[in-house]
Amino acid sequence: MSKRSIMHMLTPMPHSSPFDINMAIDAGYDLAFTYDNVTLERIADMTQDAIFSRGPSGVKKTGIFIGGRDIGLAMDMLDAAKKAMVPPFEVSVFADPSGAFTTAASLVACVERELKNNFQQNFEGMKAVVFGGTGAVGLSTAVIVAEQGADTTIVDHFSIDTALDHANEANRRFGVDLTATTAASDADKARLIVDADIIFCTVKAGIQVLNASVLADAKQLKVAGDVNAVPPLGIEGIKLMDAGAPLVHASNAQGAVGVGALAVGDVKYHLQHALLQQTLEEGDPVYLDFRSAFEGARKLA
């Protein structure tokens, strides 16, 4: 009897994401089992429970998905699972905490596309500002764009200490050079974006971060991307399906363009589907994180 495909979905949170469960089944897995409140210390034993019970043929139809909300913990869990493999008993592992890796990768890839199409430039030497940069999507976005050569600042709405802690941890872990600040008022935001080339908005849904009057100060803005799909949108003037539409409130000579949440979301959906399929269909085990996601998102965007 042919073995059925199984996805084991591990999260340190109280419950796994229904979105991720749906995606795993739709990508071709026959069964998806969820494990909640999983600690880093349990990963090795759980991984070996998964690999030794199915034989060499069964491991090819077995995958591990790591969720949660902490991108650093997700990377540590991915690394622990990888180290627990005992060839030829190896399964693929995909980390995507709160969809942060696939969402951030899709956002950056879409913005990169518009930067190339409209300005014939890449991220090297660009000044990028990430609002909501201490959240999982924002911090993942910041790390990806910093790895592409941008001078990147993460912004927290309330606390400079929170922003500094997240930047320092990302710099230590990923070898990037993020800077950090806070911006609560329109004046603070205008000061930040006056010389920004790229703006990413990754704040909580339903919160407008940049209004028309603030955007008017963005004197050299080229591309702005927003992942907020709940009104009011994060950046005034960007529509949900915008994919390089003129950013009307950024009244500058650069001809700034915007990328909307559903344009990013379309890439994100297809990206997560493709990566889940890769864990099921690839002959050799794969270990997928935000860098893998960005590579895939570039192809889709």
Which tokens belong to 71? 């991108």
Amino acid 252: pLDDT = 64
Residue closest to 274 by CA, chosen among 256, 300, 252, 248: 300
Dist. CA 111–CA 236, nearest whole Å: 17
Low-confidence residues in the chain, pLDDT < 50: none
The answer to whether the Cα torsion of 159, 161, 166, 167 is positive or negative is positive
User: What confidence tens digit (pLDDT) does each residue in 222-244 have?
Assistant: 999 999 999 999 999 999 999 99
The dihedral built from the CA positions of residue 72, 140, 156 and 38, taken in this order, carries a sign that is negative
Domain 103-264 has CATH 3.40.50.720: yes
Query: What is the predicted pLDDT for the residue at 253?
Result: 54
Architecture of the CATH domain 6-99+267-300: 3-Layer(aba) Sandwich (3.40)
pLDDT score, position 57: 83
Q: How far is 208 from 206, CA to CA, in rounded Å?
A: 7
Q: Which two tokens mark 14?
A: 């109280």
What residue ranges in the chain does DSSP mark as E strands? 6-10, 31-35, 62-66, 92-95, 127-131, 151-156, 179-182, 198-201, 223-226, 243-246, 257-259, 287-288
Q: Which residues of 98-117 are buried (b: 16+ CB within 10 A; e: fewer)?
A: bbbbbbbbbbbbbbbbbbee
How many residues would you count in the chain? 301
So what's the pLDDT on residue 187?
A: 96
Q: What is the pLDDT of residue 201?
A: 98
- What is the spatial distance between Cα 37 and Cα 51, in angstroms, rounded to a whole number? 21
Domain boundaries, the chain: 6-99+267-300, 103-264
Same fold? 6-99+267-300, 103-264: yes
Half-sphere exposure of 47 (CA within 13 A, CB side): 26
Tell me the pTM. 0.96
243-257 pLDDT, tens digit per residue, is 999 998 886 657 999
Here the tokens at position 277 are 């399929």
Laid out side by side, the sheet with 198-201 consists of 179-182, 151-156, 127-131, 198-201, 223-226, 257-259, 243-246
| pLDDT reported for residue 250 | 84
Q: Is 133 helix (H, G, I), strand (E, B) or coil?
A: coil
Confidence (pLDDT) at 282? 82
